[in-house]
Structures are given as C-alpha cells and as structure tokens.
A and B are shown apart, each in its own frame.
Chain A
Amino acid sequence: MNELSKFLTKRLGIFIVIYAAILLLTHLGDFKSKFSKIFKKNATALFSDFGSGGEVQFKKDQNKNDEYDLLFVMSSKQQKQRARKEGLRKGLKHVNITTIKFPINSWSFTGLLIVFYITLILATPMSWIQKILPTLYGLLFIYLFTNLKIWVALMLKFSDNYERFQVGLEPGILMRIINYTYNIISFQFFGLTMVLLIWFLTCFNKIKIPRYNKLIRI
C-alpha cells in the first residue's frame, strides 16, 4: 500500500469511527427530539407569517407509524376572512377552514447534513484553530440552505393552492421554476454534495495529502 492509500484509508477509518459515535449518540439519547424542537422554533420564527397573508404552524407529527416528526399546517388570512364572511352570510356561529398539511423529517432535512459536515471537519487533519472558521462557514451554509428549502417548499405548496389561499404564485413560468428548484434542492443527495463542496472549499487547501501538493499546482 503506497503512502497515499495509507493516508486515505486512515482518514476514512477515522471518519467512520467519528460518524458511528455521533450516530450512536444521536440515536441513543433524546437528541433527535431536541433537534426537532430547535428546528420547529426556527421555522416558526421565520415562516409563521409567509408572504402576503400566509400563515404556517409547525406542529409535532402525532402519527407514530410514519418517519416524519413535524407537520406544516398552512392557512391564510385571506382564506379565514372569506370563511368568516361566508359564515356571517349564512348566519353561522362557527366556520371551519380547510388547511393544507405536509409532514417533514427534520433529521433528514437538516440534521444529517450537520452530522456529515461536523464529522468531515473532525476527520480532517488540521489543527483545532484551523477548524473553527470552516465549521462556522459550513454551519452557516447549512442554516441558509435549510431555510431556503423550507421557503421553497412553502412557496410551492401555497402556489399549488393559490385559489384557496390567495398567497404565493399564480400558475406560470415562475411557479414552474420554483417547482423545478424544489425537485432539485429537496433531494437529500444534493444537500450532501453541497456540504462536501463547502468542505472542499474551506478545508482542502489546508490538508497535506501525500503526492497531492505538487499536483494541485498544475
């Protein structure tokens, strides 16, 4: 085995050990539910009022048979106003509105990206000081990426039900672009690839890999 293979195998081994340890910790403890709560808090703070009149509630998914932990419940001020008027017209005391709900798994949505990135950083042969900035950049990227995914998902769902909510985009080219973007960014492998790119961008220059140093100067 040459120097490079030894180096790569050793780093891969270190990655596996750290990743397994983090996974074990997250699965044994109460970590996932705490993470879900933080996710919910952030989503509520940023997206409970969506666009012009959209309202989103982030609730705990009660269905224990599925893989999801959070439920996005969508309604709008316009929808409520219409229902109220309709109720008054009919002389009703209570009116019901139909919300749109969709579940997500906060762990797959974001948690896995964080664990992957942290493990990459920990397994990278750099000093602890050198690891600080890449960690911050990476986590900031994941945070922004997560919020972009939520925004796109909500925009798409509101637009799909434009007649009901009067929020989002009316059918057209912009909505098709949003739909297209959602198909790409909601895909977990896309997120992992982006995280890998961030790691490359922030860490790769600092690693002394046997044989690579002269090669990269091409």
Chain B
Amino acid sequence: MKKKTKKKNQQKKQIIENRGSSLSINSSWEKLKSNPINKLLLKFFTLMIVFYIFWATPFIQENIILPISCLYAYLAGSFLNIFGYSVNILNDTVGNSNFSISIKNGCDGVEGLAIFLCAILIYPATISQKAKGVLIGFSFLILLNLIRVISLFLTGVHLPGIFDLMHESIWQIAFILLTLFALLKWVGWVSGEK
C-alpha cells in the first residue's frame, strides 16, 4: 500500500515537473515572440529566406544578377580607364594583361541591397519615409559596392599579396556592417521624424 502511494506521489511529482518545464519553455517562447524586436526579426528572416529562394533560381541569376554584375564591371572599368589603367570590359569581367577580376555572386552587392530593402519593408514607417530610405540607402550601397570592385582591382594590381584578405575578410564584413550602419541611421531618422 505504502509502496503504491509512494509510486503515485513520484508519478505526480514527475508530471508537475514536466508541466513546469513545458510551461517555462512555453513562457520563454511567448516572451521571445512578444518582444517587438523579435517580431521584426522573424518577419525580416522570412523575407530574407524568400529573397534567397528567388535569388538562387537560374532565371533570376541570368536575367537580374548577371546584368547587374555586367553593369558594375562596365562602371568600374570606365572609371579605371579614366585613370589610365587601360582595362578591357567583357561581360562581368574587368581587367588587363596584369590582372583581371570577375564580378560574381557576393561581389554584386545584391544581398546587401536585399538586407536593406527587407528591413525597410518590415519596419513601421510611412511610405515616403520608406521610399526616401530605399533611394538614399540604395545609392549609398551601390556606390559602396562600386568602390569595393575598384579597390579590389587596384589591390590585385598593386598589392596582390593581400587580395584574398581584402576580398574575403575585409570587404565582405565592411559591406554587411555598413549596410547595418545605414539601416540604423535610417531607423534613427524615422524615429526623429516621429
């Protein structure tokens, strides 16, 4: 009899403990969900996934990404030619007999633009504030990417030893960080207007 009661008590305790842990998980989840920043992040994450799903399709790669890369190559090549580097431009490639670079995925700045656009879309602001943000932010990021392409070419020509470092470790991080910086500036501007 005693054994049975003990067993029952143990079972009850186990059930209460299980409920307690599921309750705490639920409450943590609720807490996480109810936070406005996390709500924004969830929307942002969803939009970014949608972006990447489209971005990876051959159609988008061939019809949007490639022309953007070619345009960057054209602009960077034209700039370098003004300063006497005598480069040839062929599709997404800029170069001369010394050095050439191809503007592939990751160097076209499209992901930075996508991060910026997704964040602006989900953030509560008026249409005109969003439009101004997109206009100024996109101009900044496109210019930044052009500087990246030109500087990488110049690094390849003058300091080839640090090209990989500049390409992978410096510019990628700088680009994502400056995108974040531009975003926070925009959010600050929006909050100032409110």
Whether the pair A200, B37 counts as a contact (CB closer than 8 A) is: yes
Query: In the complex, which residue of chain B has the Cβ closest to the Cβ of A179?
Result: B56
- Whether B35 is near chain A, meaning CB under 8 Å from some CB there, is yes
Whether the pair B184, A8 counts as a contact (CB closer than 8 A) is: yes
Whether the pair B106, A189 counts as a contact (CB closer than 8 A) is: yes
Whether the pair B181, A12 counts as a contact (CB closer than 8 A) is: yes
The CA of A213 and the CA of B192, in the complex, are separated in Å by: 12
CB contact list, B35-71 vs A, under 8 A:
35-38, 41, 44-45, 48, 52-53, 55-56
- Whether B97 is near chain A, meaning CB under 8 Å from some CB there, is no
Please pick, from B56, B115, B187, the residue contacting A193 in the complex, using a CB distance under 8 A: B115
- Whether A67 is near chain B, meaning CB under 8 Å from some CB there, is yes
Chain B residues with Cβ below 8 Å from A5 are 185, 188
CB distance from A215 to the nearest CB of B (A): 4
Whether the pair A212, B191 counts as a contact (CB closer than 8 A) is: yes
CB contact list, A99-119 vs B, under 8 A:
107-108, 112, 115-116
CB distance from A66 to the nearest CB of B (A): 11
Choose, from B86-94, B139-147, B162-170, the stretch at the interface. Answer: B162-170
- Whether A192 is near chain B, meaning CB under 8 Å from some CB there, is yes
Q: B95-115 toward A: CB 8 Å interface, digit per residue (1/0)?
A: 000000000011000011001
Chain B residues with Cβ below 8 Å from A115 are 169
B: contact size bracket: 35 or more
Query: In the complex, which residue of chain B has the Cβ closest to the Cβ of A199?
Result: B180
- Whether B176 is near chain A, meaning CB under 8 Å from some CB there, is yes
The CA of A8 and the CA of B182, in the complex, are separated in Å by: 10
CB distance from A211 to the nearest CB of B (A): 5
- Whether A23 is near chain B, meaning CB under 8 Å from some CB there, is yes
Chain B residues with Cβ below 8 Å from A52 are none
Please pick, from A4, A116, A197, A212, the residue contacting B173 in the complex, using a CB distance under 8 A: A116
A: contact size bracket: 35 or more
- Whether A128 is near chain B, meaning CB under 8 Å from some CB there, is no
Whether the pair A23, B172 counts as a contact (CB closer than 8 A) is: no
Q: A146-172 toward B: CB 8 Å interface, digit per residue (1/0)?
A: 000000000000000000000000000
- Whether B194 is near chain A, meaning CB under 8 Å from some CB there, is yes
Q: How many pairs of A and B residues are in contact by the CB < 8 Å rule?
A: 82
Chain A residues with Cβ below 8 Å from B160 are none
Whether the pair A215, B187 counts as a contact (CB closer than 8 A) is: yes
CB distance from B141 to the nearest CB of A (A): 13
Whether the pair B172, A218 counts as a contact (CB closer than 8 A) is: no
Query: In the complex, which residue of chain B has the Cβ closest to the Cβ of A198?
Result: B41
- Whether A42 is near chain B, meaning CB under 8 Å from some CB there, is no
Whether the pair B176, A212 counts as a contact (CB closer than 8 A) is: no
**A8-B185, A193-B111, A204-B37 as given contacts; A23 in contact with B45, CB under 8 Å:** no
**A12-B181, A15-B177, A211-B188 as given contacts; A197 in contact with B41, CB under 8 Å:** yes
CB distance from A4 to the nearest CB of B (A): 4
Whether the pair A215, B45 counts as a contact (CB closer than 8 A) is: no
- Whether A184 is near chain B, meaning CB under 8 Å from some CB there, is yes
A-B contacts besides A12-B181, A15-B177, A108-B168, 16 pairs, CB < 8 Å: A2-B188, A4-B185, A8-B181, A8-B188, A23-B165, A112-B169, A112-B172, A112-B173, A116-B173, A180-B56, A184-B56, A189-B111, A192-B172, A193-B111, A197-B44, A216-B37
